[in-house]
Structure 1
Amino acid sequence: MAGNKKIEGRNIQKRKYIELYGMFGDFDLPNKRVKVKYFSTIASGKDRKSDSFTLLSELKPMRERVKAKDIKDLSSLLQRNLDDFRVAYDLIPYLTEEKPNISFFPAILAVLLPNDYLKEGLDVAYPKRMEEENEQNRILNFENKWKVELFNIGGDVSNLGILSIDLKDIEVVVLDGQHRANAFRVASGAYSDKDSSVYPAFYNEVKVEGNLNADLPITLIWFEDEDGDIEPKYISRKLFVDVNNTAKRVSKSRKILLNDSEIASLITRFFYSELAKDKSFKYDELSLLHSEFDKDSDISVSTNNVFSITNPEFVYDIASWLTLGSRTFNQLHQYRSRDNFKGNIIEFGNIFNSKDFNGFDIEPVEESLVSKTVVLKNPHKMTAFENEYRKRLHIPLYYIFNNFILYKKHFEAICAIGDWYTDGMNTYQRSVWEEVFCGGEGLYYTFKNKETSRTKLNSTLHNYLTAIEEIEKRFKQERAKIYSESEKNVNSAYDSANTKAFQVGLVMALDLYKNGLPLIDKYEEFVGEINSLGEDNWLTILNVIRPALIKGTDPKQWPSYQKLIIRAIQKDYAYYSKDNFIDSPDGKIFVDLMKTSFNSWWDNQDEIEESELSTESIGLETIHKWAISSKEHVDDLFLSAGIMPIENVDTKKHGVIIIGDVVGKINPK
């Protein structure tokens, strides 16, 4: 490349650095405050004693750098979860098997970050560049944590050089390509996960014959900002989302937790950061164990972790509605929502109204012709936003999830599994409990969300999957013991309580219940009211009344859950009465029953033509009979859950109106 030009010598003293040869570059764009610098090099499996092999060993997934239980701040998330099944059964064979007869991995993208940043969630100062005096080559020194020496070729400074990294001070964190990197590590013999018993099992049958005679392209990046301090966590997350938009799709949950601008996403991350900091994987209180922060696929296509009650997608929609939702859906006749409900900046300003952070610190941006996203105007306001969140929202939100009676019973059953772990689990079950359920690395979904049959798993992985199923089965049995219902009915009730629609509806019910007062003033009283019904009545509400009111699982039906919850707890203040009976959950079920009675009658009327159909041809006595029977059935439903019926309803009048509407659609004349 250099022709006959002389390459001058180098004089960086070799101390504790690994030294990598490659090419330096700038990604220095106009109007961009932060400049991205990069160094293209290789990680090699050819020579175990080389610095390139050391670099390969450092391309670790996040779980090898910091255990989930040690994460104190969800802002440290920089990767999707590693899918060991995909690495072991797809990518490694791609490298090592004869077919296809050609294989290649594109470059891995990794960022240089200060040590302890990931584990502690600290705003560790990012190293700044200094230029060293040198007669021959240009040397860029980043506080001795890493250095770049650019070779002088023919009297000119080139882009070729050496990157020296002190691995005691710096971590090499993969932003894009962690599955490829781990496959290359395993195939090269650079993989080691000494602290785990489950993960290595995926690679038991991987045969590494000698050194892998291949070099893996690597692009290492870092950041420079002349005008201010670098915020590596913000920049790294932004780059991760950007580069993965065109790769294998990142789950919605992970995108939410990585988003640094959208208001609802930030609130979701604040919520999970508080769980990580204060609760970790506790059994008896809402914690990371129950909230699927490591969910690696969207809820529409994913298997649910039996121990979880919520996940980032749910919390995101709760935050969206609570802080930005249109209160139109609080109207007592509204039973469905729309997609574009979350742009109410005025409501946000009612909640966040301090001098440090308020509604003037956010703004809507157009996503498309029909939707908007509300974002933070200034990223430097994020800390103030998080502080205000802790004061105004976290305590009520956490209290609801932690103290709703069905969730309390759920935690109680998990404690029974914890006791079994302490005294009774076999080796495989203990490993699964520690690493699959209490590890927070997405391993559960690696085992459960596979189209591959069990026969493809090796015997060790098969044993782990069996242990997962045994623990899940035992948990459902323990939870059912708490109730006087069958395990099937208990599971069915939790299938409803652990939905997005129910949980958003629960928070909507609190918003309606507080009646204009601050959330912080009414949340305990509200939870006390819903818990006063008792756990068995809640099972009846969700298993008996809910199916009669709410058809299907459409998450847009959260206003229906709101109305059902409000109806269940109404006492002195009646949200629903004889005057708005038809708008009540009772009334909605009453209408359906009346229509069912008519349809049954009409299906057997061969002598009446559609043109002859009228309320008179049916007969008022028949309609009144349907109405009385329907109202009695509705009252029995609600009484079975300990909820008093709505009294003094003009049942016959409502019945005639309902049937009149039905008849009018069949015979408009």
Structure 2
Amino acid sequence: MALTGTPIAKPTIKVFGMFGAFHVGDAATAKDKVLVRYFNTVASGKQTAASGDSLGLLRELKPMRERVNVSDLRDLSSLLQRELDDARVAEDLVPYLKGVNSAVGFFPGILVALVPKGFLRSEEGVAYPKPGAEGDANGQVSTGYDEYWTASRFKFDGKAVSLGLLEIDPMVTDLIVLDGQHRANAFRFATKTFDAVQSGETIYRAFYENVSAPKDFDSELPVTVVWFESQDDIEARLISRKLFVDVNMSARAVSESRRVLLDDRDRHSIVTGSVYRGLAQRAFDADRLSLLHTGFDCEEQEFHPLTLMLPSRMQAVVAYAAFGRDSHSGWEPSLKGYAPYLANYGRLKSIAPSLDEAVALKAERGDRKAFEETTAVLDEELAPKWIAVLEGYNLVSAHIEASVELDSWVRTQVVAIGQVWDKVFRGGEGLYGGFARVSEDGSGSAHTYKKAIDEISEKFISIREAKLSGCDPDQVRRAYDTFSSKAGLTGLFMAAHLYLERREAGWADVSAFVADLNKISAENWVRLLSTYKPAVVRELDPKQWPVMRAIILRALQGADPSLNFFDPTLAQLYNPDIRLIKRAVEQSVSGYMDGLSPAQRETNRVSEEQIRSWATDAMALLKDILAGAGLQPLNDDQVLRNFAVQWIESLLPKQGLAAAEAEDDDDPDEA
């Protein structure tokens, strides 16, 4: 017997609006063009016959975090939104809709893309639908896109017009907000359809505890829905990312990290994206270098202590270390000579030999097939090598070991600690910055979560310090600050390149570079970066990044003299030891001269004994600092002393120096 009765209708969203279309892609090649269809309508908190199921549409305008756990993503091409700033929604946008500071309370339209469910997670068997055959019935012309959505144009005098109906099955289709997710969430809150905040017990509720929805809110939110058509299979994620970047470059600034990861046309961002795609395969794992340690969802001034790098910093590394000169023999502390080479693919090809420069340049111009071909090469040939340099370095290994221990500790703590660890540190949603801006003297859930964040951060720092117990805590902090800076990371990869271009196998022999790095213990690297580095150069502005490379290579030569990056028989100014001597004697002479009047500076006589004393003090400082890191000067005492004396003499006023020399010549004890 067959079961009879009235079935429950599919929860299809049906909205009225106006259709349109435009193309993206290479205008010169028809097959590479993608047709973008769009549909203008409205969403609101109330159903109206004029707009259709506008309430159902509004409920589906969810941020990515409500559709897929960002921490579960293994493909960064699915990044289609900026991080959601709940504090901005709660403190700025909702009050605006309530008319707190303005009587208008109107938002411009938001941009939404239609994609099949599972498409963002690259689930097997989920493809972007192609348009079906047109159907002409009931006074309208309809085109179906498999079971996902249907576009129907109404007729006027027997001809299809732009007005029509869009039907979406939300059970199998995701609506991804490409632009306007903050406005959409404020609107959802105002209409009490923001279920994750207003009904659920989620960490996001903490931002909205002191905010109430406006009464009798009946505004409408303009919405533009887009989907894509092409002769070939469509990579909707790439097109959506392009739309997102293009729209947001002229709107409210996208976070720098997210901009770097989303920009598919900037050469430095493309390579940076390759490194982060490799890291994304590890998600937020604590036991290996992953997105947890690399600031995937953090920004400058707003990153936690587990962060070893940021996308924006890696982009700077790529600009110099991947696009510098093919070979570099100069060591001057200046990158002025590098500037013309930041577009040079020759050096990049030494890391990724299969890269086709012509194809890569087409990718920069927006050719999606060229982009896919270029990224495939980078993902296979560059990303694993660069990740190996970072992950293999014992200073990074100590950091990761500390994060493993932290992960175990978190599992034994109260619920709030676990929530913060999973959602703020490992959630990939940019929540760290939001809670960082919460007032220290506040109250409520937001303050509780902020305290939990601080507790986790402090615990990690203490664990890491314990693993490097031979160093002072301040040394450990300063060393990691130096390493994770643009200067530190750029210096590391510039050192790797210069080291590896001397080896027959080049970058294929990256393990040799890592092995030589690790001939120096992690604790000694801490001492070098925290004590030796500031004695060589105080600040590390862009013009001095090569100095960091020199410091690293000098350390490697100290552990293995056969490397011979510096000539121990010469006082070369690009040798960091010599730079340290130079700075030390400059400080001595400067301190001496500051104690003299202008007249005394011209006439005061400096004895040879004083000059030798300054030289001896500088040499002693160098030896003491290096001994703390298990190293010795590369040059012998005679080379160091001769340089120190000559440099001091070059700093002294000629008259005073001449008088001192004359006095020494007349001294009978010296005869």
TM-score by length of 2: 0.87
Q: Residue type of the partner of 2:225?
A: L
Whether the 8 Å CA contact 2:360–2:371 is kept in 1: the answer is no
1:359 Cα deviation from its structure 2 partner: 2.7
1:363 counterpart (354, 361, 364) = 361
1:96-122 deviations in whole A, cap 9, x for unaligned? 255422211111111111221112277
1:397-432 deviations in whole A, cap 9, x for unaligned? 112221211211111221222111222x11211111
CA distance in 1, matches of 2:527, 2:288: 25
Partner of 1:6: none
CA distance in 1, matches of 2:371, 2:445: 46
> 1:153-172, aligned counterparts within 5 Å?
153-172=156-175
The structure-2 alpha-carbon separation of the partners of 1:63 and 1:652, relative to structure 1 and needing over 3 Å to count, comes to: same
Structure 1 residue 602 and structure 2 residue 602: aligned? no
Q: Residue type of the partner of 1:215?
A: E
Whether the 8 Å CA contact 2:119–2:127 is kept in 1: the answer is no
Whether the 8 Å CA contact 2:350–2:507 is kept in 1: the answer is no
1:206-230 deviations in whole A, cap 9, x for unaligned? 33466632221111112233x4333
Whether the 8 Å CA contact 2:263–2:270 is kept in 1: the answer is yes
Structure 1 residue 480 and structure 2 residue 457: aligned? no
CA distance in 2, matches of 1:467, 1:417: 13
CA distance in 2, matches of 1:422, 1:532: 35
Q: Residue type of the partner of 2:585?
A: M
Q: Residue type of the partner of 1:102?
A: V
1:70 Cα deviation from its structure 2 partner: 1.4
Q: Residue type of the partner of 1:585?
A: P
Partner of 2:371: 382
1:269 Cα deviation from its structure 2 partner: 1.6
1:7-45 deviations in whole A, cap 9, x for unaligned? xxxxxxx85531101111223589383332211111110
CA distance in 2, matches of 1:181, 1:607: 68
Whether the 8 Å CA contact 1:73–1:121 is kept in 2: the answer is no
Partner of 2:277: 273
Partner of 1:57: 59
1:250 counterpart (251, 254, 257) = 254
Q: Residue type of the partner of 1:362?
A: A
The structure-2 alpha-carbon separation of the partners of 1:124 and 1:375, relative to structure 1 and needing over 3 Å to count, comes to: same
For the residue of structure 1 that corresponds to 2:251, the secondary structure is coil
Whether the 8 Å CA contact 1:75–1:121 is kept in 2: the answer is no
Partner of 1:23: 18
For the residue of structure 2 that corresponds to 1:164, the secondary structure is strand
Partner of 1:533: 520
Partner of 1:433: 421
Q: Residue type of the partner of 2:511?
A: E
Whether the 8 Å CA contact 1:80–1:254 is kept in 2: the answer is yes
CA distance in 2, matches of 1:208, 1:280: 36
Partner of 1:10: none
Partner of 1:370: none
Partner of 1:79: 81
For the residue of structure 2 that corresponds to 1:125, the secondary structure is coil
For the residue of structure 1 that corresponds to 2:489, the secondary structure is helix
Q: Residue type of the partner of 1:82?
A: L
Greater alpha carbon shift after TM alignment, 514-523 vs 28-37: 28-37
Partner of 1:11: none
The structure-2 alpha-carbon separation of the partners of 1:26 and 1:393, relative to structure 1 and needing over 3 Å to count, comes to: closer
1:44-88 deviations in whole A, cap 9, x for unaligned? 102499721111111111111110221010011111000011111
The structure-2 alpha-carbon separation of the partners of 1:123 and 1:444, relative to structure 1 and needing over 3 Å to count, comes to: farther
1:553 Cα deviation from its structure 2 partner: 4.1
Partner of 2:563: 573
The structure-2 alpha-carbon separation of the partners of 1:582 and 1:271, relative to structure 1 and needing over 3 Å to count, comes to: closer
Structure 1 residue 308 and structure 2 residue 307: aligned? yes
CA distance in 2, matches of 1:159, 1:530: 65
Q: Residue type of the partner of 1:323?
A: A
Partner of 1:202: 207
1:626 Cα deviation from its structure 2 partner: 2.2
Partner of 1:639: 627
The structure-2 alpha-carbon separation of the partners of 1:667 and 1:84, relative to structure 1 and needing over 3 Å to count, comes to: farther
Q: Which runs of 5+ in 2 are unaligned?
A: 1-8, 659-671
Greater alpha carbon shift after TM alignment, 508-517 vs 25-34: 25-34
TM-score by length of 1: 0.87
The structure-2 alpha-carbon separation of the partners of 1:103 and 1:390, relative to structure 1 and needing over 3 Å to count, comes to: closer
CA distance in 1, matches of 2:144, 2:656: 86
1:255 Cα deviation from its structure 2 partner: 1.3
CA distance in 2, matches of 1:237, 1:607: 64
1:291 counterpart (294, 302, 309) = 294
Partner of 2:455: 470
Whether the 8 Å CA contact 1:150–1:161 is kept in 2: the answer is yes
Whether the 8 Å CA contact 1:329–1:559 is kept in 2: the answer is no
Whether the 8 Å CA contact 2:332–2:546 is kept in 1: the answer is no
Whether the 8 Å CA contact 1:286–1:402 is kept in 2: the answer is yes
Greater alpha carbon shift after TM alignment, 197-206 vs 568-577: 197-206
1:196 Cα deviation from its structure 2 partner: 6.2
Partner of 2:228: 223
CA distance in 1, matches of 2:444, 2:56: 32
Q: Residue type of the partner of 1:36?
A: V
Partner of 2:113: 111
1:329-364 deviations in whole A, cap 9, x for unaligned? 55334455655551222223333333xx42332339
The structure-2 alpha-carbon separation of the partners of 1:220 and 1:242, relative to structure 1 and needing over 3 Å to count, comes to: same
Partner of 1:5: none
CA distance in 2, matches of 1:623, 1:329: 36
1:243 Cα deviation from its structure 2 partner: 0.8
Q: Which runs of 5+ in 1 are unaligned?
A: 1-13, 365-373
Partner of 2:639: 650
CA distance in 2, matches of 1:210, 1:651: 79
1:511 counterpart (473, 497, 505) = 497
1:282-301 deviations in whole A, cap 9, x for unaligned? 11210111111112x4x2xx
1:496 Cα deviation from its structure 2 partner: 1.3
The structure-2 alpha-carbon separation of the partners of 1:160 and 1:390, relative to structure 1 and needing over 3 Å to count, comes to: closer
Q: Residue type of the partner of 2:639?
A: D
2:482 counterpart (473, 487, 496) = 496
1:181 counterpart (156, 170, 184) = 184
CA distance in 1, matches of 2:245, 2:429: 19
The structure-2 alpha-carbon separation of the partners of 1:57 and 1:465, relative to structure 1 and needing over 3 Å to count, comes to: same
Whether the 8 Å CA contact 1:361–1:377 is kept in 2: the answer is no
The structure-2 alpha-carbon separation of the partners of 1:17 and 1:197, relative to structure 1 and needing over 3 Å to count, comes to: closer
Greater alpha carbon shift after TM alignment, 426-435 vs 520-529: 520-529
Q: Residue type of the partner of 2:192?
A: G
Q: How many residues matched?
A: 632
